[in-house]
Amino acid sequence: MVIDFRTRIDTAIDPYSDSSSGAAPAAALAASYESATQCVDAAVIVGERCDRLGRHVTAETVADFVNQEPTRRVGFAAIDATADTVAEDIDRAIELGLSGLALAPADQNVRPTDDRCFHTLELAASKGMPVLIANPLLRSHPHSILEFARPALLDEAARTIKNLRLIFGDLDVFQDETFLMLTKHEHCFAEISAVAHTTWSLRQTLTNAYERHAIDKLFLGSGFPDEKPGCLIERIYTINGAAAAAALPVIPRRFIQGIVERDAFNLVGIEHFAPPRQTRENADDETTTIVTDAARRSLRAPSAN
């Protein structure tokens, strides 16, 4: 099963400027989203929320988009741990049929060990909802607190909160801490959208994950519209070809294939069923061809077994 574990539907160029609200997906994005995601079995749409900076892609917005094609879309509601309505917000997400939550500790200025964040994670675990830890503003906004993005600050929660499932989304920062969390805790994972855009960053990350024995805990994630899932899949499948040309170590094929085809929903406890790609109507032939050709090239490229 091919799952794009992180996409978004916000189109604002600068969502924090006075001139752009970023409140709902544009019609053009809805059309391009459908076209781009035809090459995957399912995709996760992630909301965003940061009350202190006036940012909110609501659970209702995410649910409306999911409901346009509910067999192939899964929604994660953004929760601000500093809000007084956390419990109600989580219940509302469940009522809307959303499957997970997203927290942004650095953007929200709340340390992951803070009682408010800990309480939010406890509620999520009690409701059976996995939590994506990701900070969309970490790289661009001066008021996003870098220290609060450290994965190690979630160690206590991962150790002590029963049934908590965490997915780390900022894989381009504090990478060693992320991989330590993945190998230390059974129910910790990471998605790769933060390094999806360039072959070199992606290769460095996958090699590091392989050498740290964490590669089996990685999920496919494009970060669409920042990257198209088809382009990312091609980049993953051809990663060993680039390595061979540069006389670099290669990653065994089974681990490369695992990232693309991993059933992430099953691992984080999401019950979702999508039709197989080959039976889906109105598939994007060009994107499907790109992925198929990439797979063929990866099989021809020199690789470890």
Residue 186: burial class (beta carbons within 10 Å; 0-12, 13-18, 19+) = exposed
Instruction: State how far the Cα of 224 lies from the Cα of 302, in Å rounded to an integer.
Output: 30
pTM (2 d.p.): 0.87
CATH, range 3-300? 3.20.20.140
pLDDT at 273: 66
Phi (first) and psi of residue 50, to 5 degrees? -150, 95
Model confidence pLDDT, tens digit, residues 214-242: 999 999 999 999 999 999 999 999 988 86
pLDDT at 249: 82
pLDDT at 272: 76
pLDDT at 2: 97
Alpha carbon of residue 80 to chain centroid: 18
Domain ranges of the chain: 3-300
Model confidence pLDDT, tens digit, residues 19-72: 344 444 567 778 889 999 999 999 999 999 999 998 999 999 999 999 999 999
Phi (first) and psi of residue 44, to 5 degrees? -100, 125
